[in-house]
Amino acid sequence: MEERKALSTFDKYLSIWVALCMIIGVILGVKFPQAVNALGKLSIAQVSIPIAVVLWIMIFPMMVQIDFTQLKGVRKEPIPLYITLFVNWIIKPFSMYLLSVLFFKFLFRPLITRENAQGFIAGAVLLGAAPCTAMVFVWSYLSGGDPLYTLIQVAVNDLVVIVAYAPIVKFLLGLNKMVVPYSTIFYSVLIYVAIPVTLGYLARRYFVKTKGVDWLNNVFVKNMKNITIIGLLATLIVIFMFQGKIIVSNPFSIILIMVPLILQTYFIFFVGLFLTKLFKIRYELAAPATMIGASNFFELSVATAVILFGLSSPATLATVVGVLVEVPVMLSLVAIFRANRKAFDFGGKPEVVNVPPGVEERLDK
């Protein structure tokens, strides 16, 4: 009870803090364009260094908890990975294409021009063909997912992105001369995944050697419990600061674009949830398998849209809206997934889910 009281102010209203940080980011982007432009130049192959820094803050506590000595055991349970690959590459790009065509070419036809409809479809497909790389660590963490298996899921999907992203987008959009920014993929994986994983691995070795595993699990993890959430909020401010002018300039279009993107996210989530239950996947492995498909690699999507269609194009706007809907929708999916925890008790000895300290209270409230 004491811990619940201590968490009440910050954690009970997490969704409000998320909304406020998004608003603050937009305001900063509109009010201080020169500063934003200066920060925007701090990038490598369109991969933002400021975003990388706040992502490191967000991801580092999770990386320290990964025990790489358990890596061999992952091979004994490959089905969650198969589910992820099936959902991400067989279902997700095509369902996104069908939904976007349904809304932008038919249901919203009286409200938008043909050019905008084509652009919105293109942006939606660029999002749908790019499963998440960095943020999925947060969604899996908040869901109580296994951090090592989450890393494996991300690593495999990043390899598939390199091979499958361009052919799928070309097929769906007919872009015969499509140019995929492979340097963006490479540096995104390097900066958003490889560096924090390496830092986490080195930190874990140091702490285990000097303090012991018990100290790491019971003291370090407990003291770092809010760092991930603070990093998430800082990430939101920075991301929306960069996209503030685009969001403010296109309020009506943004509302229209949000509809199929939100529906797609919930659809993919429930497909993953259904399959993990069907194959009786353990809860902590079902979390990353379900979450990675629902979220998107928006850095790659935005960069590709800018290269193919230009910064002010409808396609780029659609990818930016993907960023806008990602966090609020994914937080709702985390809560839904955790509410289904009992559904993963398939008999026998109940699974003990490693839920980070404070997360259960945060989401229940």
The DSSP call for residue 70 is G
Question: What are φ and ψ of residue 47, in 5° steps?
Answer: -95, 115
**Looking at the 3D structure of the chain, how many domains does it have?**
1
Q: What is the mean pLDDT of residues 37-60?
A: 86
With bands split at pLDDT 50, 70 and 90, how would you rate the model's confidence at 76? confident
Domain of 308 in residue numbering reads as: 2-343+352-364
For the stretch 196-243, pLDDT in tens is: 889 989 999 999 999 998 898 888 877 777 788 888 889 889 988 988
Q: Which residue(s) pair with 47 in the sheet?
A: 44
Residue 42 has pLDDT above 60, yes or no: yes
Q: What CATH number does residue 142 fall under?
A: 1.20.1530.20
Q: Say what the pLDDT of residue 352 is.
A: 43
Determine what percent of the chain is predicted with pLDDT higher than 70.
90
Q: What is the largest CA-CA distance in the chain?
A: 66
Q: Say what the pLDDT of residue 255 is.
A: 95
More confidently predicted of 304 and 96? 96
Q: How far apart are CA 321 and CA 246, in angstroms?
A: 10
Q: What is the mean pLDDT of residues 178-206?
A: 85
83-107 burial string, b = 16+ CB within 10 Å, else e? bbbbbbbebbbbbbbebbbebbeee
Residue 8 has pLDDT above 80, yes or no: no
